[in-house]
């Protein structure tokens, strides 16, 4: 998205935002328990975190955070999906990550003051538990284990971004597609690797820094070769992807 359209994006955000006053706070606490960042907290501590949070719902294609914004909240995804991305003035974008229920973003803003480093947009109607910086700091003061978990989470993100940069610099388009598919896939009880997210070809292209047409040709060849299967935009890796294309 063009960051020059910040005012328009913020207006859209205001139009699409709704506070879920009647939302069951217990559900948010259950989600917190499954997040490594909060896994060391007691039920009492989780309740404290919840008291410092606001639950809100945003419609599909809403900009939650715009690159360059100066906001200071942590967003925990209760339901729905978002993409974190970078864009230029021509509207070209690179998707950094696609996240779903139990994932969170905005943690860097809890630790420093600079503007947001990336934009985040909903891919479908999504609900968030939003924890404000001051409330999080109080929780942090009473629970130093959260600081350790936060450092580990940031370290993981740095490693992931380093691997992405390495891929863009050293792998060809097929190599980047194959690596991305392998990273996104989770092994199910059946033994097959399945990508739970419903990815469009354009989203996958934006993740690997290539054209949609090139990604489409690669996916078609992988389907023909029996390496992957796509049903309802969900990709299943049927067997080990070839080293080259």
Summarize the confidence of residues 216-231 as an average pLDDT: 95
> CB–CB of 53/133 below 8 Å?
no
What is the strand order of the sheet 63-65 is part of?
A: 63-65, 119-122, 82-87, 93-99
Residues with Cβ < 8 Å from 22, sequence gap 6 or more?
none
Instruction: Give 24's pLDDT tier (boundaries 50, 70, 90).
Output: low
Average pLDDT across the chain, whole number = 81
- pLDDT value at residue 220: 96
pTM: 0.71
pLDDT tens digits along 135-165: 777 777 777 777 787 788 778 878 877 877 7
Is 174 a residue whose pLDDT tops 90?
yes
> Between 194 and 161, where is the model more confident?
194
- pLDDT, residue 21, reads 40
Identify the sign of the CA torsion 36, 82, 118, 138: negative
CA–CA distance, 102 with 129 (Å, rounded to integer): 10
Q: Distance between CA 93 and CA 88 in Å, rounded?
A: 7
Of the listed ranges 57-61, 107-111, 123-127, 237-241, the least confidently predicted one is 107-111
The rounded distance, in Å, linking the Cα atoms of 77 and 131 is 11
Distance CA(233)–CA(198), nearest Å, equals 5
* Count, residues in the chain: 245
Q: What is the band of 27 on the pLDDT scale with cuts at 50, 70, 90?
A: low
CB-CB contact of 40 with 110 (8 Å):
no
Tens digit of each residue's pLDDT (9 = 90 or more) over 28-56: 677 777 777 777 777 777 777 777 788 99
Residues 11-37: what's their mean pLDDT? 57
């Amino acid at each position: 998205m063009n960051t020059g359209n910040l005012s328009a994006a913020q207006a859209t955000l205001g139009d699409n935002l709704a506070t879920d006053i009647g939302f069951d706070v217990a559900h948010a606490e259950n989600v917190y328990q499954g997040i490594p960042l909060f896994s060391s907290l007691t039920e009492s501590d989780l309740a404290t975190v919840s008291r410092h949070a606001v639950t809100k719902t945003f419609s599909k294609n809403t900009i939650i955070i715009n690159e360059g914004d100066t906001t200071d909240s942590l967003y925990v995804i209760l339901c729905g999906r978002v993409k974190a991305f970078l864009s230029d003035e021509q509207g070209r974008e690179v998707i950094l990550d696609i996240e779903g229920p139990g994932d969170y973003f905005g943690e860097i803003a809890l630790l420093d003051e600079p503007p947001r480093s990336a934009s985040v947009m909903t891919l479908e109607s999504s609900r968030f538990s939003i924890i404000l910086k001051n409330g999080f700091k109080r929780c942090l003061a009473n629970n130093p284990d959260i600081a350790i978990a936060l450092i580990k989470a940031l370290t993981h993100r740095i490693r992931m971004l380093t691997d992405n940069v390495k891929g863009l610099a050293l792998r060809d388009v097929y190599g980047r597609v194959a690596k991305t598919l392998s990273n996104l896939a989770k092994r199910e009880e059946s033994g097959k690797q399945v990508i739970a997210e419903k990815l469009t070809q354009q989203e996958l292209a934006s993740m690997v820094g290539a054209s949609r047409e090139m990604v489409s040709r690669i996916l078609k060849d992988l389907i023909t070769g029996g390496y992957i299967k796509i049903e309802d935009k969900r990709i299943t890796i049927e067997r080990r992807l070839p080293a080259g294309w």
